[in-house]
């Protein structure tokens, strides 16, 4: 299960990075060139979207990379990435797979069962 969590975290983070590039680019484009009536408007909270577009892929990839050595921490990071993506971008055509991969990877990492090592997680 840890290997599956690792792969799902890396793939989900990569897909989230692609979504993040477009979201960040769109908000910067509208800031730079202005709104286009009846075509392109600025979102309500561009700073939130930019922050999540940067942090969620980072958390997902880091969580996936940690899933084999520290499953609890890695799973928590992947679930945090999935929650951030869902909160900021919503569940849609382009976000369903990053959210699902990060969420499933986080659940699998946490459900890995046996303790990582004889050390505490914190």
Q: Is 66 exposed, middle or buried (0-12, 13-18, 19+ CB in 10 A)?
A: buried
pTM of the model: 0.87
| Model confidence band, residue 115 (pLDDT cutoffs 50, 70, 90) | low
User: What DSSP assignment string belongs to 75-107?
Assistant: HHHHHHHHHHHHHHH-S-TTTHHHHHHHHHHHH
Closest CA to 9 of 58, 63, 69: 63
| Model confidence band, residue 101 (pLDDT cutoffs 50, 70, 90) | very high
**Residue 122 predicted with pLDDT over 70:** no
Secondary structure of residue 54 in the 3-state scheme: helix
- Residue ranges covered by each domain of the chain: 2-22+54-110
pLDDT digits (tens, 9 = 90+) for 12-68: 999 999 999 999 999 999 999 888 888 888 888 999 999 999 999 999 999 999 998
Residue at token pair 């577009």: 53
**Distance from C-alpha of 20 to C-alpha of 57, rounded to nearest angstrom:** 8
Closest CA to 62 of 84, 50, 87, 79: 79
């Amino acid at each position: 299960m840890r290997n599956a969590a690792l792969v799902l975290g890396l793939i989900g983070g990569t897909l989230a990075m692609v979504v993040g590039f477009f979201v960040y680019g769109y908000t910067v484009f509208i800031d730079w060139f202005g709104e286009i009536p009846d075509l392109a408007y600025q979102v309500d909270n561009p700073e939130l979207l930019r922050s999540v577009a940067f942090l969620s892929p980072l958390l997902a990839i880091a969580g996936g990379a940690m899933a084999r050595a520290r499953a609890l921490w890695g799973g928590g990071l992947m679930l945090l990435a999935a929650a951030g993506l869902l909160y900021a971008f919503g569940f849609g055509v382009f976000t369903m797979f990053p959210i699902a991969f990060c969420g499933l990877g986080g659940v699998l990492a946490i459900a890995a069962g046996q303790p990582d090592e004889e050390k505490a997680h914190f």
